[in-house]
Amino acid sequence: MIDGVVNILKPEGMTSHDVVNKVRKIFHTKKVGHTGTLDPNAVGVSPICIGQGTRLAEYLTDKEKVYKTILNFGRETDTQDISGQPTKETALPSLSREEFSQILTSFVGEIEQIPPMYSAIKKDGQPLYQLARKGISVEIAPRKVVIKDIQLLMYTPQSAMLEIRCGKGTYIRTLCQDIGRACQSSAYMSYLLRTQSGAFKIEDSIPLEKLTQMEHPEEAIIGLNEALKD
């Protein structure tokens, strides 16, 4: 039995559950789990627990995460990202870089988010995204999340690139939409890269395709003690 964690670089177009299924086949075990959902359009660090490593999942899920994201101004979508249907269009923000930076600081700290309808959160036992696909909208209670830091990497009236350090349960696409609204405009997330999840960093991750092709994939396994080093 193989026990530990593998630091996967998740490709675009796959759900976190798809990645789990791939890893099950690679290591010939059903005892596999992820440590936090990444949307299909997102790429980046996705620690996958194997064997006894699945007992660590709840601890690893709680760890701080770091993302790089691009938000596009002037439109909202039903999924809050580039994959969705437009629901609203507005004028672009008329803010200087300094004024936009000031708006970003108002989102740092403990904030409230209303999770998106297109999410895996369950309402009466049914995932919200299943209800959304049927055209059913339900009231979602706001949740408290912690944004530890936002760095502005690029800003134009059309788009902005941010680096976000945050706690468990944060929806970056919701944050992008809320930032757009705070600019008296609108916004949706057009790109998301997770660069870090707890102690797991993107520079140490292994592309899923490469893991699939390895003759000895067990060499990519990180031991239980090493996985909890932080």
pLDDT band at 7 (very low <50, low <70, confident <90, very high): very high
Please state the separation of Cα 147 from the chain's center in Å: 13
Q: Which among 121, 117, 120, 122 has a CA at the least distance from the CA of 134?
A: 117
Q: How many CB atoms lie within 10 A of CB 94?
A: 10
Backbone dihedral angles phi then psi of residue 28, each to the nearest 5 degrees: 55, 50
Residues written for the chain? 230
Q: How many CB atoms lie within 10 A of CB 62?
A: 13
Sign, CA dihedral 19-25-27-29, equals: positive
Which pLDDT tens digit goes with each residue over 149-188? 999 999 999 999 999 999 988 999 999 999 999 999 999 9
Sign, CA dihedral 124-130-136-142, equals: positive
> Which residue intervals of the chain are DSSP H helices?
16-27, 57-61, 97-105, 128-133, 172-182, 208-213, 224-227
**For position 122, what pLDDT does the model report?**
67
| pLDDT of 130 strictly over 70 | no
**For position 140, what pLDDT does the model report?**
75
Sign, CA dihedral 25-31-32-37, equals: positive
**For position 80, what pLDDT does the model report?**
94
Instruction: Give CA–CA dist 180/191, Å, rounded.
Output: 15
**For position 60, what pLDDT does the model report?**
81
| pLDDT of 129 strictly over 70 | no
Question: Which residues are tagged catalytic?
Answer: 39
pLDDT mean over 42-62: 88
**For position 89, what pLDDT does the model report?**
97
Which pLDDT tens digit goes with each residue over 194-228? 999 999 999 999 999 999 999 999 999 998 888 77
Q: What percent of the chain has pLDDT over 70?
A: 91
